[in-house]
Amino acid sequence: MKLKHITLDEVNSTQEYLKNIELIEGQQTLVSARRQVKGHGRQGRTWTQLEQTICFSFSLPKRENLTICSSEISLYVLSFLKENFHFHGYLKWPNDLLCQHGNKVAGILIDVIKDRVLVGIGINFQSGRITHNFNASAINEEQPLEESQYHEIPKQIFEYIFKRYPQDHLQIILQWNQNCYHLDKDVTIKDDQQITKGKFKGLGEMGEALLFTPSQKLVSVFNGSLRSE
């Protein structure tokens, strides 16, 4: 695989930048940026950059069982950070990374275009003293990033993911559940249509959330935002 790595100082959004390239060139590209000024997250939310945040986007071929893709990617990002940065964190359904105290340190965005999956990843390495995003946290407050790492780490993470993807869904589910912050905790999942409450029982076969409801039913939830009770 020949990778084209585009390193930018500033961009609106690496994800939008990649979308344009993918449509034109259709090659294996990684886009990383020191600063994003219009980063966005799932469900049209804004992704706010902290003082030391790495942000990058790349594409992968579509896999079978596409709905488990975002959980698979979040698992690899967590494993990479554990192995390389001694990060003791957890996963939150469907694909956020949390620190030990349950604050978000990384988010993942998945877009599907034709036969490709566009993956956008943002990871907070240091929050800095001033942040408007009070629920956000960071990987390692003590160790500042060097300038070159804003592009080197995205490349390392891309290679780490590319080596492993796509993995069998049963393996993903097993490992994902072992690293899940909310396993057996009471949660609420809310989307535009409905609110589902129950005990979080891990990932289902398609990457959906399994909740054991107060009426003793195991239900599957495919979309929405999860919060703890």
Q: Does 57 bind ligand BTN (CB under 6 A)?
A: yes
- CB-based contact 24:49 (threshold 8 Å): no
- Distance of closest approach, residue 43 Cβ to ligand BTN, in angstroms: 7
The contact mask relative to ligand BTN for 88-117 (x = CB under 6 A, - = no) is: -------------------xxx--------
Query: Torsion angle, CA of 165/113/78/186, rounded to 10 degrees?
Result: -120
Q: Does 224 bind ligand BTN (CB under 6 A)?
A: no
Q: Which of 5, 21, 41, 149 binds ligand BTN (CB under 6 A)?
A: 41
Angle between helices 149-164 and 69-85 (to 10 degrees): 120
- CB-based contact 48:73 (threshold 8 Å): no
Amino acid, res. 204: G
Report the SS3 class of residue 197: strand
Q: Which window, 49-57, 68-76, 169-177, 220-228, contacts ligand BTN (CB under 6 A)?
A: 49-57
- E strands, the chain, are 4-11, 29-36, 52-61, 90-92, 96-98, 104-113, 116-126, 186-190, 195-203, 209-212, 218-221, 225-228
Strands 29-36 and 4-11: parallel
- CA-CA distance, 91 to 182, in Å (whole number)? 8
Q: Does 42 bind ligand BTN (CB under 6 A)?
A: yes
* Residue-level length of the chain: 229
- Distance of closest approach, residue 45 Cβ to ligand BTN, in angstroms: 6
Compute and round to an integer the Cα radius of gyration of the chain: 17
- Distance of closest approach, residue 47 Cβ to ligand BTN, in angstroms: 4
- HSE toward the beta carbon, residue 227, CA cutoff 13 A: 5
Q: Does 40 bind ligand BTN (CB under 6 A)?
A: yes
- Distance of closest approach, residue 82 Cβ to ligand BTN, in angstroms: 20
- Distance of closest approach, residue 161 Cβ to ligand BTN, in angstroms: 14
Q: Which is nearer to ligand BTN, 111 or 159 (CB)?
A: 111
Q: Which of 30, 50, 55, 203 binds ligand BTN (CB under 6 A)?
A: 55
Q: Does 29 bind ligand BTN (CB under 6 A)?
A: no
Q: Which window, 42-50, 80-88, 168-176, 192-200, contacts ligand BTN (CB under 6 A)?
A: 42-50
- Distance of closest approach, residue 39 Cβ to ligand BTN, in angstroms: 4
Residue ranges binding ligand BTN (CB under 6 A): 13-15, 36, 39-42, 45, 47, 55-57, 107-109, 120-122
